[in-house]
Amino acid sequence: MIHNVLSIAGSDPSGGAGIQADLKAFSARGVYGMAALTALTAQNTQGVTGVHLVPPHFVAQQIKSVFADVRVDAVKIGMIANAGIVEAVAEALAPHRGIPIVVDPVMIAKGGAALLDPQAIDALTQHLLPLATLLTPNLPEAAALLHEQVAENREQMGAQAERLRALGPNMVLVKGGHLESDESPDVLSIASGLHWFEAKRVPTKNTHGTGCTLSSALAAELAKGASPQMAVAAAKAYLAQAVAAAGELTVGSGHGPVHHFHALWKDADR
């Protein structure tokens, strides 16, 4: 059976992040992708120049229309922009607690533009975190959700992961890509404790959409029935390979996208 995964996120017209990255990652991981838009952005590899938000009631209508017709095996939530959209998404998903929901708390674009109203952080914590099967913040996002300083080492990362899980998610994956290190470790907090996943840092500026891609790959693996540890290991390995192959693409002059189809295009006629 081919599994169906719904992304609820914003659009990136340059194709490297947001809904576009989510759908590519879903396809690369062997699931059927669907999308409910929360925002239109004007952006490229150099930054975001504009954001046009979808009205909250229409975000909810998109989600409900999918569930009314399609079997949804997992949901990934990305850019949700403001408190109104947070509440609309939570209300639309509340009847579907039995499926995996991956929440990637997108707050700041790679170029530095804010993608989440600071006043919406509390709404996200109150309404979406209790619905989350898996929360996937990077270090600045984890700190913002907890109203703490950004973690600077593994001990602080692990402690923040556990404090975030106490806010409601079943599991929390804190990503260590912002650590000042040659390594890029992630830590998963689940009921049995902390589990670390290691990776070497890839020297590249082409990291646009890495968070979107990882969370989408995680949603795909959970939809297929993988255990939490297996899902994280598979998604992290996929992302590492996509980042390593990013140089094969020639997209923009800023932070380029990762190569979502690095394993699928090797034998394609180009």
Cα dist from 41 to 14, 79, 201, 207, 227, whole Å: 10, 11, 29, 18, 34
Mark whether 213 is an active-site residue. Answer: no
| Catalytic residue from among 177, 211, 213, 224 | 211
C-alpha distances out from residue 25 to 6, 18, 57, 97, 212, Å? 12, 11, 27, 23, 9
d(CA 197, CA 200): 11
Distance in angstroms (rounded) separating the CA atoms of residues 118 and 121: 6
Based on the residue annotation, tell me whether 112 is a catalytic residue of this protein: no
Closest by Cα among 269, 157, 138 to 213: 138
* Tokens 């996120």 found at: 9
- Annotated catalytic residue, options 210, 213, 224, 256: 210
Question: Which of the residues 33, 158, 177, 209 is marked catalytic?
Answer: 209
Find the catalytic residue in 24, 175, 224, 236.
175
Q: Is 211 a catalytic residue?
A: yes
Q: Which of 41, 45, 125, 207 is catalytic?
A: 207
Q: Measure CA 161 to chain center.
A: 16
Specify burial of residue 54 (Cβ count, 10 A radius: 0-12, 13-18, 19+).
Answer: buried
Residue 144, SS3 per DSSP = helix
212 is catalytic: yes
> Which residue is associated with the tokens 């693409």?
249
Active site includes 209? yes
Known catalytic residues are 175, 207, 209-212
